[in-house]
Structures are given as C-alpha cells and as structure tokens.
Structure 1
Amino acid sequence: MEILIRGVDNSDMDSIIDFNTEYGNGKAVWNGNSDPEVGNKYNVEYDITDILEWNKTVSLSKEKSFKIFIEEEITHIIGVLEKVYKDGISDLRFGNSIIQLEVEGKDLPVGEYVLVKADSLEVYDTVY
C-alpha cells in the first residue's frame, strides 16, 4: 500500500513515522533499506507484531469501510477479517493489502469489518 511520510522521529533506536494513506493516517516503526524522508511516498507492507486478543484489541467495527487513524497514541485499523487459520493466524484485508494477525480467541467473525488496535505497527518498504 502506498503511504506518504508526514513526519519522522529518530530520537529512539527505531525510526517512528507518521504517515498518510488513502484511508487515513497512522504511526509505525519504519523498516527499509533507506531512511524515510518527509514528503516521499513509499509502497509498504504492514506488520503487527503483538499477539492480539478478540474483544480486547480486535473487535467488531461499527464502521463498514477501510480506515486507519490514531487515538491515544495507538494506531487503529479497520479492515475485513478474511480468513482464520487453525494456528491462530488471521488475514485482515485493508484496501488492497493483507495484514497477517495473530489473534487469540474463538468464533472470530470471518467476512466482517473489525477494528484492530495496533500498538506495535511496523511498515516494511517493499522496494529493495
């Protein structure tokens, strides 16, 4: 998915970026072969490294469209839960992207829009 870098914070060991997408804005740890530059567009893949929990960090969404936004310093993503595997991995459709999640819980609502609270969002530059 294409993002536009709005800001970069290099004060920590990781580069934290603020970014815009066609679905809203978010904040993530940057992983790429080059440093992110404010004003540049990048094609990225998303990764949420935390183990999520149904009805706590993943829940049904009242909104029925793709969206990304920041609330209380946490990036929230609304997408469609496309598939749930037996090993606890789930596929979340976010626009044209698929984000794999590890979600604990039962009876996850496949085919429904869900809200994911992504405290550990990372993006990977897909250009090598």
Structure 2
Amino acid sequence: MRVMIVEDEALLALELETEVEAAGHDVVGQAASSSTAYELAEKTAPDFAFVDIQLLDGPTGIDVGKFLASKNVPYIFVSGNLKRIPDDFAGALGAIEKPYTMNGLQNALDYLALRVEGGEVPSPPPGLILASEVA
C-alpha cells in the first residue's frame, strides 16, 4: 500500500513513517501543511493517508481529508483532539487518538490495509475509532 502522512510534528511523522514501512508498506511522502499535502496527493496518488487535523497552517487537516475523499483516497485522522472531527468524519474511515502506542498503531495499520485492499476484515482493533461506529 502506498501511504501518505500528513503531520506537522516531525518526530511523530518520522515514527509513523517507520511503522508504516516496518509493516511492509511504502510511504510516498510527508506533508506538514495543507498546501504541501494537496501537491503530494496530486503527485503521488497514494492508496491511503494518515491525516492530523492541526497542521502548520492551522486546523486544515479536515480540508485535506475532504480533498483526499474527493480523490477516492481512504484516510484516517490521527489527532490529539478527536472532538475537532466533524460528525460525518469528513469522509474519513475513522480516527486514532494521540498519543497512540506503536502496537496499537501497528494493529490499526494491519486492519486498515486489509480494508483498503478489499480483504476480509476482522473486528477493528482497540484504539481505532471507525466513522461507521459513531454515525
């Protein structure tokens, strides 16, 4: 799976990239602002994205998410404040709350990869809040 990371905290983005690659996926790039995220999405056509809500240019992650959804790119929010996510999840599959554990992230990534690739999906792991569960 080709994964895009939209995160303004460099250390968190690097940790996420390491985990994604350890799970056997390719990271197509990182974006810390919405403008970079739009460019990266257009240039790389990712299969999936992790999107933080608060970016360098403000709380623009929701707009990035809507853009990704319009391009049929599945994504989840990764945020320290899940209350900022709109009720409709802005087209996201779900969310993971920060801080997360590496084990929790790995379990969520395994589940999401199966879901995105159209495989049979088990029950979602703890820590992954699916949009369909709150709808």
Q: State the TM bucket, normalised to the shorter chain.
A: under 0.3
Structure ranking higher in strand proportion:
1
**Under a length normalisation based on structure 2, what TM-score does the superposition of the two structures give?**
0.25
**Under a length normalisation based on structure 1, what TM-score does the superposition of the two structures give?**
0.25
Answer 1 or 2: higher relative contact order, Cα 8 Å, separation at least 6.
1
Larger-gyration structure (1/2) = 1
Structure ranking higher in helix proportion:
2
